[in-house]
Amino acid sequence: MIDDYQETMELLAKMRSHLPIPAYASKQLVSALREQKPKIKTSQRLEIVDLHYLGDEGGISCVMKFPARTDENLVVSLTHLRFIPTHPLAKDIRRYQVHRIRNLAQQ
C-alpha cells in the first residue's frame, strides 16, 4: 500500500475543516501545465476549495480555484502543491507528501 488509509482519512478531514486552503503550484506542475495554462506560475496563489481521495493509486486530489477567476478550476494531486509554512496543517501535509512520494518511488 502507498497510503496509510487511516492517517490519510484523518488528514483529509483536517484539511476539509480548513477549506479554502491557500497553495502554490510546484515547478513540476507548472511545467506539466505550460501548454494548457501558460499563465500559471509558481508564485501564483491558488486555493484548494474541495478535496477527494482517489484511492491508494490516486491519493488525495485537490480542486484548485484561481482566485481571480470564478469559472475555472483545476484538479491536481496534493503532492504537486506547496504550502505556506505557517499554515496550521503545513507539517501534516508535508509529511503525507514525503511519505507518498517515497512509497511511489519504491514501487
Nearest C-alpha neighbor of 22 from the set 106, 93, 99? 93
d(CA 66, CA 48): 9
Cα–Cα distance, 32 to 38 (Å, whole number):
10
83 near 2, Cβ under 8 Å? no
pLDDT of residue 62: 97
CB distance 12 to 51 below 8 Å: yes
- Cα diameter, the chain: 39
Q: What's residue 4's pLDDT?
A: 93
- Percentage with pLDDT > 70 across the chain: 96
Segment 32-84, tens digit of pLDDT: 888 887 778 889 899 999 999 999 989 999 999 876 766 778 899 999 999 99
Q: Provide the number of structural domains found in the chain.
A: 1
The per-residue pLDDT for 17 is 98
Residue 14 belongs to what domain range?
A: 5-106
Q: What is the pTM of this model?
A: 0.89
Residue 13 pLDDT: 98
Q: Which residue has the cell 491508494?
A: 56
Q: What is the pLDDT of residue 1?
A: 84
